[in-house]
Amino acid sequence: MHSLEGQVAIITGAASGIGREIAKRFCAAGAIAVIADLALPAAEATAAEFEAQGHKAMAVAMDVTSEEQVNAGIAAVLAAYGRIDVLVSNAGIQIVHPIEDFPFSDWKKMLAIHLDGAFLTTKAVLPAMYAAGHGSVIYIGSVHSKEASVLKSAYVTAKHGLLGLCRTLAKEGGKKGVRANVVCPGFVRTPLVEKQIPEQAQALGITEEQVIKNVMLKETVDGEFTTVDDVADCVLFFASARSKALTGQSIIVSHGWSME
Ligand code: NAD
């Protein structure tokens, strides 16, 4: 492992849930965490909290589906620090419907946040990473990068798509010192999942307890939720790998829900 001291790590969607924990862990490892989020007040509060603890953090307003906002946000980071060492493409939402009822507008919104967002942020950080001859891009995929679930066609499609983007970047970036990897979490009790529990209960005609036990955690080895900490561990592992050997990979952290 090499130190992240003084490195600049941009984490999208870091004002909440998994991204917030990842940003916190980059701070604890001595990096400067850039909290890039649609929700600017929450991003600012997160950065202020980390700074009050003696860490270095910066909040950036960014809708990852907007090329203009992504480019402006990345430019602001480069103006402030002159380098970008790590990108964690994490911003994401969930919308569930059966395919036959999936509004096309919701489908496009899902693909825009998960795929356009990953593409636009990657594209924007690469010139600085290539110029420096080093960088690490980590996509937050999901067990749904590997498996399918009913009602989640857009999410499953987008999360599978991230594997393709990651592998392509691993090939293009390899000789330029840039690595790309994907972390694939199982269910984590963040606001994104708390919202899904009643929605799925209604869509499937079962209780919320049954959604947790028989849908979300059914295939795990121990009936446990994955935690934000579990996910952050994997991200830090990818970010701090010492050699260029660890690239083009995806790691599943899901209490054995999915195994390969
Ligand atoms: P969350 O709802 O707690 O946080 C998501 C964050 O993304 C929020 O701060 C939100 O403001 C931000 N965001 C949403 N749209 C955005 C946009 N267009 N531009 C910038 N920021 C935007 O969700 P979470 O559970 O922490 O999810 C984070 C990532 O982890 C997502 O990609 C999600 O698909 C993935 N994931 C989550 C789980 C889980 O069980 N929670 C499992 C596997 C993968």
Q: Write the pLDDT tens digit of every residue in 225-245.
A: 999 999 999 999 999 998 899
Q: What is the pLDDT of residues 97-125, one digit of tens each?
A: 999 999 999 999 999 999 999 999 999 99
Q: Summarize the confidence of residues 213-228 as an average pLDDT.
A: 97
Q: Does the structure show a pLDDT above 80 at 2?
A: no
| Third-level CATH fold of 8-186+226-250 | Rossmann fold (3.40.50)
Residue closest via CA to ligand 1's atom 7 equals 13
**Ligand 1: does its nearest atom lie under 6 Å from the Cβ of 153?**
no
Residue closest via CA to ligand 1's atom 36 equals 142
How much distance in Å is there from the Cα of 192 to the middle of ligand 1?
6
Residue closest via CA to ligand 1's atom 19 equals 63
Active site residues: 155
**Ligand 1: does its nearest atom lie under 6 Å from the Cβ of 46?**
no
Domain with CATH 3.40.50.720 in the chain: 8-186+226-250
Q: Which atom of ligand 1 is least distant from the CA of 20?
A: 26
pLDDT classification of 1: cutoffs 50, 70, 90: low
CA atoms within 13 A on the CB side of 160: 10
Q: Do the Cβ atoms of 212 and 252 come closer than 8 Å?
A: no
Whether pTM > 0.85 for this model: the answer is yes
pLDDT classification of 203: cutoffs 50, 70, 90: confident
Q: What is the pLDDT of residues 124-182, one digit of tens each?
A: 999 999 999 999 999 999 999 999 999 999 999 999 999 999 999 999 999 999 999 99
- Cα(116)–Cα(12) distance, rounded to whole angstroms? 13
